[in-house]
Amino acid sequence: MEPLEQGLGILLILIVLLDIFLTVLYARIGTSIVGSRVARLVWDTFVQAAEIFGSRQGAVLSLCGPVILVLLVGVWALGLTLGAALIVHPELGTSIRATNGATPTDFVTAMYAGGTSMAIVGASDFTPHTSLTRLLFLFNSLIGTSVISLTLTYLMQVYTALLRRNLLALNSHLLSGCTGDAAELLARLGPRGQFSAGYTNLSELGVEMTQTKEAHHFYPVLFYFRFNDPYHSVSRTTLLAFDTVSLLKSALNDQQYGWLKETGAVAQLWEASMMLVTTLEETFLPHGAPDREAQPDQQTRDRWQARYHVALARLREAGIETTADEGAGAEAYIACRMQWDHHITNLAPSMSYSMDEIDTAMSALDQR
């Protein structure tokens, strides 16, 4: 049984090291072996537990992201320790002996000897007495120090990426006058019809959205960082981006603002937002990204059309020249919204947000 036990230990160490490699170094969404399953299990547990707390549900879920990181590091450390223990256990009392006194041969002692060998050679109460066991202790020490360095670097990078995502969310929220309304955001980007300065803000939002998409690609655990404030959610940020581009394309006068509609910044903001939401849906939601809806029902069309006319009124109030053909503009807005609305209504509930929290403009319209 000893070769089998040591073989299992080697296999366990290799699996943990592969998961660390895929999570920290390879850094591609959907490739992790252990980490993604730990994260999903913790998230599902938090969602079920949060239902007990009622109005405090958001505060409970906000703890999930940090807990996942702690547990992920713990699982890696435990896996490496168990693997080392399985290798060391058959050698206790023979090629690996206690520095002082008799050498215990139980498995707990093997875990202690294996775990301490992951730190610094010579720090353990156990000493290797053959060339192979000396190499084993040296190898364990290299693994331990490397994993600690990689883990600390990974944690720092995750929180740096989280900061950038939150900055995008806060910038969008503030540009919309803390309303979450794309019409208000456009009105502030082009006061009195002047988008020369506002185009810079629009371009920055496109760049930040692209960075956020790539951040989720490199650090999938970001998905599980949920904040109590809805404006920090990816659903709110992408909805605001989608609605801004939809209104820009359908509501603004072509002759006056045709140049703005054709800019790369507008295309970048739209495409980056679409890539972000579809990537998150396909990776984290059990049913994946929904198929594109053929046609919305008449009630939905009426709601979208009413939202469009309210947005037109706000843009005109800001001195922005709008389209001369409101009917064609409304149809263009509905056509744009058909491409993204179902993604938002699919993604938002997965993070325990209601659509009233995410789509504030439509929520305000429904309350009238």
* Domain-embedded: residue 16: yes
Same domain? For 113 and 228 the reply is no
Same domain? For 54 and 135 the reply is yes
CA 180 to chain centre: 21
Same domain? For 319 and 201 the reply is yes
Same domain? For 143 and 194 the reply is no
> Model confidence over 165-176: pLDDT tens digits?
999 999 999 999
* Domain-embedded: residue 360: yes
pTM here? Answer: 0.90
Residue 149's pLDDT is what? 92
Q: CA 213, CA 66: separation in Å to the nearest integer? A: 20
* Domain-embedded: residue 161: no
Same domain? For 226 and 334 the reply is yes
Same domain? For 100 and 42 the reply is yes
The pair of structure tokens assigned to 62 is 């906000």
* Domain-embedded: residue 167: no
- Domain of residue 344 covers 176-366
Same domain? For 122 and 184 the reply is no
Same domain? For 217 and 361 the reply is yes
* Domain-embedded: residue 159: no
Residue 307's pLDDT is what? 96
Q: What are the pLDDT tens digits along the chain (368 aa)?
A: 788 999 999 999 999 999 999 999 998 888 899 999 999 999 999 999 988 887 788 889 999 999 999 999 999 999 999 999 999 999 999 999 998 889 999 999 999 999 888 875 556 688 899 999 999 998 999 999 899 999 999 999 999 999 999 999 999 999 999 999 999 999 999 999 999 889 999 999 999 999 999 999 999 999 999 998 999 999 999 999 999 999 999 999 999 999 999 999 999 999 999 999 999 999 998 887 777 666 888 999 999 999 999 999 999 999 999 999 999 999 999 999 999 999 999 999 999 899 999 999 999 888 87
Same domain? For 198 and 148 the reply is no
HEC-encoded secondary structure of the chain: CHHHHHHHHHHHHHHHHHHHHHHHHHCCCCCCCCHHHHHHHHHHHHHHHHHHHHHHHHHHHCCHHHHHHHHHHHHHHHHHHHHHHHHHHHHECCCEEECCCCCCCCHHHHHHHHHHHCCCCCCCCEEECCHHHHHHHHHHHHHHHHHHHHHHHHHHHHHHHHHHHHHHHHHHHHHCCCCCCHHHHHHHHCHHHCCCCHHHHHHHHHHHHHHHHHHHHHCHHHHHCCCCCHHHCHHHHHHHHHHHHHHHHHHECHHHHHHHHCCHHHHHHHHHHHHHHHHHHHHHCCCCCCCCCCCCCHHHHHHHHHHHHHHHHHHHHCCCCECCCHHHHHHHHHHHHHCCHHHHHHHHHHHCCCHHHHCHHHHHHHCC
> Model confidence over 147-160: pLDDT tens digits?
999 999 999 999 99
What is the number of structural domains in the chain? 2
* Domain-embedded: residue 158: no
Same domain? For 130 and 198 the reply is no
* Domain-embedded: residue 166: no
Contact in structure between 53 and 59 (CB atoms under 8 Å) = yes
Same domain? For 316 and 202 the reply is yes
Contact in structure between 351 and 62 (CB atoms under 8 Å) = no
* Domain-embedded: residue 168: no
Same domain? For 108 and 40 the reply is yes
